[in-house]
């Protein structure tokens, strides 16, 4: 898929639900999750956009719900955390039952991974209902050994967990197919979003689930120029995301 700054839409005239990934879409990917800050200018931009009566904004993230709400810091938005396992819709917090059951396994895996991955640069992120093992800072000469140690450590749980890969991260999640795609489809059935047309923007493998789920229903945009995506269009980078969103800010 080629460069696409303007997917050819006119300014928004219908009710639109904007589903926006966070890391790599609204903010650059950095070496530590806590450093992925949403700058003041872009925060004001999103706040103004969210005030439009024909626009709803949902932040969709692999982060925990608490983490993504803290990083974005804007009230009134919909937040989806842990790849769809946690949802905050108004004052309503929803946790998928499979995630609650998985919490004990997360605690067990965290202990095992800390013992089994003694590599400089590894970051094990406990997100309550999932675990992210970041290896962006692991030296490339250790990557093969790191992956071998990772799969050796989780072997006793292998049939009871789901392993997915992102950008320099391995995710341990509850078994089953619940992900960003099913979370978005669930939200679109809620009264607050009925009649809204979905637009989904994301940059990572876990966003492909949502691209496929919305294939026949909305507009899907992949951040980064690639043909290896189920998204309908591509945006060239984070600056392209904000240029594209500008059309929804216009009356």
- Residue range 143-171: mean pLDDT, rounded: 94
Number of neighbouring beta carbons within 10 Å of residue 93: 12
Encode pLDDT of 108-137 as tens digits: 999 999 999 999 999 999 999 999 999 999
The pLDDT of residue 3 is above 60: no
The pLDDT of residue 99 is above 50: yes
If pLDDT is split at 50, 70 and 90, which confidence band does 7 have?
A: low
* Angstrom distance (rounded) from CA 218 to CA 24: 21
Cβ atoms of 218 and 199 closer than 8 Å = yes
Kindly state the tokens that stand for 5: 């700054």
Is 31 an active-site residue?
Answer: no
Encode pLDDT of 18-39 as tens digits: 999 999 999 998 888 888 889 8
Encode pLDDT of 54-64 as tens digits: 999 999 999 99
pLDDT score for 31: 80
Question: Residues 14, 15, 19, 22: is their CA dihedral positive or negative?
Answer: positive
- Residue range 196-212: mean pLDDT, rounded: 94
Kindly state the tokens that stand for 198: 């979905």
**Which residue in the list 21, 204, 207, 209 is annotated as catalytic?**
21
pLDDT score for 126: 95
Enter the pTM of the model: 0.89
- Name residues whose C-beta falls within 8 Å of residue 57's C-beta, 6 or more positions apart in sequence: 17, 18, 20, 46, 49, 50, 77, 78
Q: Which domains does the chain have, with CATH numbers?
A: 16-96+178-249 (3.40.50.1000), 98-173 (3.30.70.1020)
Mean pLDDT of the chain: 91
Backbone angles phi, psi at 217, to 5 degrees: -125, -35
Cross-strand partners of 86:
81, 95
The pLDDT of residue 13 is above 50: yes
């Amino acid at each position: 898929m080629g460069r696409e700054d303007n997917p050819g839409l006119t300014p928004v005239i219908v009710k639109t639900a904007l589903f926006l990934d966070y890391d790599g879409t609204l903010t650059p990917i950095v070496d530590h999750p806590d450093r992925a800050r949403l700058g003041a200018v872009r925060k004001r931009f999103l706040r103004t956009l969210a005030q439009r009566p024909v626009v709803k904004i949902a932040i969709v993230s692999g982060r925990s719900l608490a983490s993504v709400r803290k990083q974005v810091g804007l009230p009134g938005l919909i937040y989806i955390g842990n790849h769809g396992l946690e949802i905050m819709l108004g004052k309503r917090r929803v946790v998928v039952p499979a995630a609650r059951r998985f919490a004990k396994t997360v605690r067990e895996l965290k202990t095992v991974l800390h013992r089994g991955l003694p590599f400089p640069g590894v970051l094990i992120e406990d997100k309550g209902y999932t675990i992210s093992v970041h290896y962006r800072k692991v030296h490339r000469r250790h990557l093969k050994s790191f992956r071998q140690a990772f799969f050796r450590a989780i072997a006793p749980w292998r049939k009871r967990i789901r392993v997915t890969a992102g950008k320099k991260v391995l995710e341990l999640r509850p078994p089953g197919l619940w992900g960003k795609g099913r979370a978005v489809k669930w939200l679109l059935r809620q009264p607050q979003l009925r009649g809204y047309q979905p637009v989904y923007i994301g940059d990572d493998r876990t966003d492909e689930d949502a691209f496929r789920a919305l294939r026949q229903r909305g507009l899907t945009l992949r951040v980064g120029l690639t043909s290896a995506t189920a998204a309908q269009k591509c945006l060239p980078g984070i600056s392209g995301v904000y240029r594209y969103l500008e059309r929804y800010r216009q009356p």
